[in-house]
Structure 1
Amino acid sequence: MASVVNKIRRWLHTPQGRQARAHAERLARDPRNRARLRGLLNRRGGSSHHH
């Protein structure tokens, strides 16, 4: 599993990875997207709440 993490870490340092990360950060700043993401995480996490 660590090899997958290492591949992702290496990819994040490529121009495509940096661009994707910047795009994700822009999306994360949008309140509607944050609410949608929270909903997805809550559904996947079941009844456990991480506040």
Structure 2
Amino acid sequence: MQHSLTQGPITKNILLFALPLGVTGIWLSVPIGWALADAIGIGYYLKKRR
């Protein structure tokens, strides 16, 4: 049984955010994703450093 790629929670959230805004939503989702990844990485680093 094949699972559709658009059924995952991450993909679904990105599509829900990007589709109403069109191309602007796609362009905004990239830096927002980078910022979230950086924040998680910095938080993980600071937690492990202690």
TM-score interval, smaller chain: 0.3 to 0.5
* Structure with larger RCO (C-alpha < 8 A, sep 6+): 2
TM-score, normalised by the number of residues in structure 1? 0.38
TM-score, normalised by the number of residues in structure 2? 0.38
- Return the structure number with greater helix share: 2
